[in-house]
Amino acid sequence: MRATKAACDQALVFLEEQRLPPSPQNYWLAFAIHERGASELSKAVCGITDGGVRLTQVDADALYERFFGRTASERPHTQGETSSDLIRHQALHLADLTSSATTVAGDFSRELTDRMPDIVAADMTNLADLFRMTLERSRRAERELAETSAKVDQLRQQLEAAQGDAERDALTGLPNRRGIETHLAGAQTGTEQLFIALCDVDRFKSYNDRYGHTVGDRVLKTVATSLCETLSDCFVGRWGGEEFLIVGTCDAASGAVKLEAAKTALGERHFKLRETDEPLGRITFSAGVTDVAWNEPPAIAVERADALMYRAKEAGRDRVLADALAVGAAA
């Protein structure tokens, strides 16, 4: 275990000395160089770095390809897989390994503890001393493995948090486009009827043009809050700009009723400029609502909802269209 830890530490030092980024591929290459000692890989590296020459990324990629196969850029990835995903998978695998090793070390330690009275009673002094030393080493290894497992678990939590941040809109706190796509990918796993709605804040550009982007941002945050409050049983995300996407577990007709209620609730809010107390007037949105057919790609339903939303805009704004039926009318 100490040898492995030393190889890990030496790998990081090596990458820093060579001024190479600690990517998974580079780290594995550096680890293999130090963990395997005087191997063909180590000799190849020495041949390049002899005389104080540093490895370039091109050299590192060539070495990796030569000794381990294709480079990281050439390896096939599953759809949607990112570097964070790869690191997360490695952390999960390492956590399993350390957990298993901790269990083995603990079992060995308990077995030695159980056998100690028999060994001492037999007056086998030398053997007893050996077992005491082995037991202490086992206990120390168990503690170190437990600490490693805790650190890996902390890393996993940090990676999960980072992934969550990557799928969340910084302004509104709602799921962003990536978060929406993740939700849609798993939304059809049940048997419930789903609807998808797209809504767009009416005349939003006028808020930015007249009052500035700071006020525009406040409007978007307020709209997001209002939608979440009135559509608490639905999934609400920011599709982009002033557009929001809603997913609910009912048909489009019932979903349109929900969106109409949300539109009414938003219109009843009173908006004023913080600086001058000037009223901003009634804020409205236009929306399109459609059913998600069984086994239909969500992207197709989103396109349909988008088309309905623009028809609502063209029909005078401040209204909800479900398929071909208007559920609200402009005030």
Which stretch of 67-71, 208-212, 308-312 has the lowest confidence by average pLDDT? 67-71
Report d(CA 291, CA 193) in Å as an integer: 8
> Which of the two residues, 264 and 62, has the higher pLDDT score?
264
User: Which of 57-61, 151-155, 251-255 has the least mean pLDDT?
Assistant: 151-155
Domain ranges of the chain: 2-68, 83-166, 177-326
45 or 126: which leads in pLDDT? 45
Q: DSSP per residue over 274-316, as a string?
A: TTT--B-----EEEEEEEE-TT--HHHHHHHHHHHHHHHHHTT
pLDDT, residue 188, reads 73
Distances in Å between the Cα of 92 and the Cα atoms of 14, 98, 189, 218, 243 are 25, 10, 25, 40, 36
Pick 177-326's CATH classification: 3.40.50.720, 3.30.70.270, 3.40.50.300, 1.10.260.40. Answer: 3.30.70.270
Tokens at 109, concatenated: 């330690």
Buried b / exposed e over 271-298, threshold 16 CB at 10 Å, is beeeeeeeebeebbbbbbbbbbeeeeeb
pLDDT at 92 over 60: no
Is 289's pLDDT higher than 80?
A: yes
**pLDDT confidence band for 313 (50 / 70 / 90):** very high
pLDDT digits (tens, 9 = 90+) for 220-277: 999 999 999 999 999 999 999 999 999 999 999 999 999 999 999 999 988 878 777 7
Cα separation, 272 vs 291, whole angstroms:
37
Per-residue pLDDT, 75: 42
> Mean pLDDT in the chain?
79
Cβ-contact 279, 219 below 8 angstroms: no
Confidence of residue 194 (pLDDT cuts 50, 70, 90): very high
Mean pLDDT of 209-220: 90
Query: Residues of the chain with pLDDT > 70: what percent?
Result: 67
Tell whether the model's pLDDT for residue 152 goes beyond 90: no
What is the pLDDT, as a whole number, of residue 117?
Answer: 67
Catalytic residue among 144, 242, 296, 314: 242
Q: Quote the pLDDT of residue 3.
A: 60
16 assigned to active site: no
H/E run at residue 321: strand 320-322
pLDDT computed for residue 330 by the predictor: 41
User: Which is it for strands 194-201 and 320-322: parallel, antiparallel or unpaired?
Assistant: unpaired
Q: Which pLDDT score, from 0 to 100, does residue 305 have?
A: 97
Q: Could you tell me if residue 177 is left (phi over 0), alpha (psi between -120 and 50 degrees) or otherwise beta?
A: alpha
